[in-house]
Amino acid sequence: MLHVKKGVTVNRPREDVYQFWRDLENLPRFMQHLEMVEAADGGRSHWVAKAPGGKTVEWDAEIIEERPNELIAWRSLAGSDVRNEGAVRFTQAPGDRGTEVHVELLYDAPAGRAGATIAKLFGEEPSRQIRDDLRRFKQVMETGEIVRSEGNLEGAGQGVLKQRAAQAPEAEARP
Amino acid sequence: MKATCWMGKGSVEVRNVPDPKILNQRDAIVRITSTAICGSDLHLYNGFIPTMKKGDVLGHEFMGEVVEVGHGVKNLKVGDRVVVPFTIACGNCWHCQHDYWSLCENSNPNAALAETMMGHAASGAFGYSHLTGGFAGGQAEFARVPFADVGPLKIENGLSDEQVLFLSDILPTGYMGAEMCDIKPGDTVAVWGCGPVGLFAIKSAYLLGAERVIAIDRFEYRLTMAREKCGADTVNYEEVDSVTETLIEMTARRGPDSCIDAVGMEAHGHGLEYMYDRTKQALMLESDRPLALRQAILACRNGGTVSVIGVYGGLVDKVPLGTIMNRSLTIRSGQCHVHRYMRPLLDRIEKGEIDPTMVITHRMPLGDAAKGYDIFLNKEDNCEKVVLSA
Ligand SMILES: NC(=O)c1ccc[n+]([C@@H]2O[C@H](COP(=O)([O-])OP(=O)(O)OC[C@H]3O[C@@H](n4cnc5c(N)ncnc54)[C@H](O)[C@@H]3O)[C@@H](O)[C@H]2O)c1
Ligand SMILES: [Zn+2]
Ligand SMILES: [Zn+2]
């Protein structure tokens, strides 16, 4: 069982931050391991995550609790390979500091192949991945997109070892 | 294009590399007309800043002409002439909006790495290791400028490149060093280091109302510049037994009201103390040699301010914290919040209050960058500042 809690402060009004997250289809814009989230009726959604070796894993989820501008909680539907649940809370940061976003995720990695896949999905340090995702979320909310550098073409969340020298990419390497 | 690349400790080469490309909507591409070598580049050259990668394009002081803009840049157009601040800042985050641009919360893709080393991360910067984001620099023919809608300052008044180029870094840095001293009438300010940053700190201290500025270095040609171009009194630290005692005596035992460290992590010195720091640094038990900083702290008047604009990278030894505490000293520091100062300093240049060209001693084509590094590092040929034209 993976249990991760991380937070970030976003310099935007609470309504905006909540709205962006509530549209679950936005999540892949900053969650690196997600390929796609498709929202369906009744608070249901279909999630596709990247898995090692170019494969994907998929599951369905439903929103189990929702309080506008305060909280969104979701859980995978019974029978999913990847049992997981999550909640994100939005609170007013003190003074003029914007909005605090607190994320909590629980992943139940079952025994066997699916379990191994989940473990790999999150690398050895799941809390680091969530922290990087939240950093990217903040960038998208505050600046409009993920910030890229020549050494980090994919933006925040690449380990130092994967980084290139700080030179422009060749034309075809452009993301 | 041609670009100055870091090839390892003590080695830079001008090489052919791919042209920069728009990677974010708020990027612009600038064709560089003038660029400079900074004392900060020497820390990279000498291998004191970790996380450099072979091939990194160097350079963070540059200006030129906009040749391409991303969809998100509405305030610049192709053909505009701009000076680019060395710190990269988004303009949207809390720190940018509170005028702390070198602490931008979004511009450093490697913030996680910086957090591990420093607790929190600072902003991204051009050509300054992967700790500040892995951005390609501007000692090149072209550069990509992120957040081009926020950083670059348009130059529309016909001032020459040499008059405005240093708005990118060293003029604001020297100015911030003096501003942090919170200078009051009658104040004496001491400035360690008569490199370009030190000279601009001296000049700025006078502009901000200092009564007297005392400059410290060992190169006679640099001390002469401090006297003749900036009006400072000078101390050659090789000619006195104790810099601290000299300064205290020069101020009839009050000590300078504020002290500016414009030297940084590679301070030079003599005797046991210098040997101690060099040895510890070589053994990687200490990352920086804080000789100037220690003197600044000891010399400073009771209740005075020590302003640190020389760059430090990590850990230092034997900083007299007891002195700071018992004598009510204030330490202020930071990578320059360049965006804060560009416009007001451009005004001062236009009014003729400051002439930044005074620091330039060497002009060369970009292709000679390696030679430029060498001369500037070794303070040969009375070198103060090298400007490269691309
Ligand atoms: N805070 C910022 O944003 C910022 C920006 C630009 C540069 N810097 C830093 O400012 C510092 C100076 O830059 P520069 O371009 O003027 O470099 P520089 O190498 O030209 O000048 C440094 C000077 O310090 C002198 N010096 C060395 N040891 C000394 C000592 N013990 N006492 C007195 N003087 C001593 C040297 O002789 C030299 O003249 C560097 O550390 C650079 O990284 C900081
Ligand atoms: Zn510089
Ligand atoms: Zn910012």
How many whole angstroms from A136 Cα to the centroid of ligand 2?
28
Q: For the residues B271-284, what does the mean pLDDT come to? A: 81
A12-37 pLDDT, tens digit each: 999 999 999 999 999 999 999 899 99
pLDDT at B365 over 50: yes
pLDDT at B293 over 90: yes
Report pLDDT for A121: 65
How many whole angstroms from B90 Cα to the centroid of ligand 1?
28
Give the residue with greater pLDDT, B373 vs A80. B373
Kindly state whether A97 is in contact with chain B, defined as any CB-CB distance less than 8 angstroms. yes
List CB-based neighbours of ion ligand 2 within 5 Å. Answer: B 38, 40, 169
Integer distance in angstroms from the first to the last C-alpha of chain A? 34
Kindly state whether A149 is in contact with chain B, defined as any CB-CB distance less than 8 angstroms. yes
pLDDT at A73 over 90: yes
Kindly list the domain boundaries of chain A, sorted by start residue.
2-162
pLDDT at A155 over 90: yes
Contact: A149, B26; criterion CB under 8 Å: no
pLDDT at A124 over 60: no
What backbone torsions phi and psi does residue B174 show, to the nearest 5 degrees? Answer: -60, -40
Q: How far apart are CA B354 and CA B347, in angstroms?
A: 10
Measured from the Cα of B243, ligand 1's closest atom is 32
Measured from the Cα of B198, ligand 1's closest atom is 16
Structure tokens at B358: 């005074």
| pLDDT band with cut points at 50, 70 and 90 for residue A174 | very low
Q: How far apart are CA B79 and CA A28, in angstroms?
A: 37
Report pLDDT for A54: 82
Distance to chain A for B194, nearest Cα, Å? 31
Ligand number nearest to the C-alpha of B175: 1
Q: Identify the H or E element spanning B31.
A: strand B28-37
User: ipTM strictly over 0.85?
Assistant: yes
User: Residue-wise over B20-57: b if at least 16 C-beta within 10 A, else e?
Assistant: bbbbbebbbbbebebbbbbbbbbbbbeebbebbbebbb
Distance to chain B for A128, nearest Cα, Å? 9
* Close Cβ partners of B267 (under 8 Å, ≥ 6 residues apart): B192, B277, B289, B290, B291, B292, B293, B310
DSSP character at residue B143: E
Ligand number nearest to the C-alpha of B222: 1
Residues contacting ligand 1 via CB (< 6 Å): B 38-40, 42-43, 169-170, 173, 192-198, 216-219, 222, 237, 262-264, 267-269, 291-292, 309-311, 335-336
Nearest of B200, B194, B188, B181 to residue B246 by alpha carbon:
B188
How many whole angstroms from B274 Cα to the centroid of ligand 1?
17
Q: How far apart are CA A23 and CA A38, in angstroms?
A: 10
Q: Identify the H or E element spanning B263.
A: none
- Give me the sign of the Cα torsion angle B244, B249, B252, B256: negative
How many whole angstroms from B315 Cα to the centroid of ligand 2?
21
User: Chain B residue with minimal CA distance to A149?
Assistant: B135
Kindly list the domain boundaries of chain B, sorted by start residue.
2-169+336-389, 171-333
B205-216 pLDDT, tens digit each: 999 999 999 999
Give the CATH class of B2-169+336-389. Answer: alpha beta
Residues of B with CB under 8 A from a CB of A: 3, 5, 17-21, 23-26, 51, 53-57, 72, 90, 92-94, 97, 105-113, 124, 127, 130, 133-137, 144, 146-147
pLDDT at A48 over 70: yes
pLDDT at B268 over 80: yes
Kindly state whether A98 is in contact with chain B, defined as any CB-CB distance less than 8 angstroms. yes
**From B58, B180, B197, B268, mutation site for ligand 1 pocket: most ligand atoms within 8 A of C-beta:** B197
Q: Which residues of A touch B141 (CB under 8 A)?
A: none
Give the CATH class of A2-162. Answer: alpha beta
Nearest of B168, B159, B163 to residue B59 by alpha carbon:
B168
Kindly state whether A170 is in contact with chain B, defined as any CB-CB distance less than 8 angstroms. yes
Kindly state whether A3 is in contact with chain B, defined as any CB-CB distance less than 8 angstroms. no
Averaged pLDDT of chain B = 96
Distance to chain A for B29, nearest Cα, Å? 12
Structure tokens at B166: 């240093």
* Close Cβ partners of B29 (under 8 Å, ≥ 6 residues apart): B20, B21, B22, B66, B67, B68, B69, B142, B143, B144, B145
β-pairing verdict for B305-308 and B330-333: parallel
pLDDT at B241 over 90: yes
Report pLDDT for A165: 94
Measured from the Cα of B218, ligand 1's closest atom is 37
pLDDT at B18 over 60: yes
Kindly state whether A133 is in contact with chain B, defined as any CB-CB distance less than 8 angstroms. no
Report pLDDT for B390: 86
| Closest in A96, A142, A158 to B106, CB measured | A142
B118-135 pLDDT, tens digit each: 999 999 999 999 999 999
According to DSSP, the residues that pair with B51 across neighbouring strands are none
Q: For the residues B217-224, what does the mean pLDDT come to? A: 98
A136-146 pLDDT, tens digit each: 999 999 999 99
Averaged pLDDT of chain A = 88
Structure tokens at B41: 């580049």
| pLDDT band with cut points at 50, 70 and 90 for residue A173 | very low
| Closest in A9, A146, A166 to B57, CB measured | A166
| pLDDT band with cut points at 50, 70 and 90 for residue A175 | very low
Q: Which residues of A touch B108 (CB under 8 A)?
A: 147
Q: For the residues B268-293, what does the mean pLDDT come to? A: 83
Torsion of CA B134, B123, B337, B45, to 10 degrees: -30
Question: If DSSP codes are grouped into helix, strand and coil, which group holds residue A78?
Answer: coil
- Do residues B295 and B310 touch, judged by C-beta distance below 8 A? no
Report pLDDT for B147: 98
User: Chain B residue with minimal CA distance to A136?
Assistant: B106
B77-120 pLDDT, tens digit each: 999 999 999 999 999 999 999 999 999 999 999 999 999 889 99
- Do residues B130 and A160 touch, judged by C-beta distance below 8 A? yes
What amino acid occupies position B375?
A: I
Report pLDDT for A110: 61
Q: How far apart are CA B390 and CA B388, in angstroms?
A: 6
How many whole angstroms from B309 Cα to the centroid of ligand 1?
8
What backbone torsions phi and psi does residue A51 show, to the nearest 5 degrees? Answer: -120, 160
Identify the CATH homologous superfamily for domain B171-333: NAD(P)-binding Rossmann-like Domain (3.40.50.720)
Structure tokens at B277: 């720091």
pLDDT at A117 over 80: no
pLDDT at A81 over 80: no
Q: Percentage of chain B surpassing pLDDT 70? A: 100
Ligand number nearest to the C-alpha of B90: 3
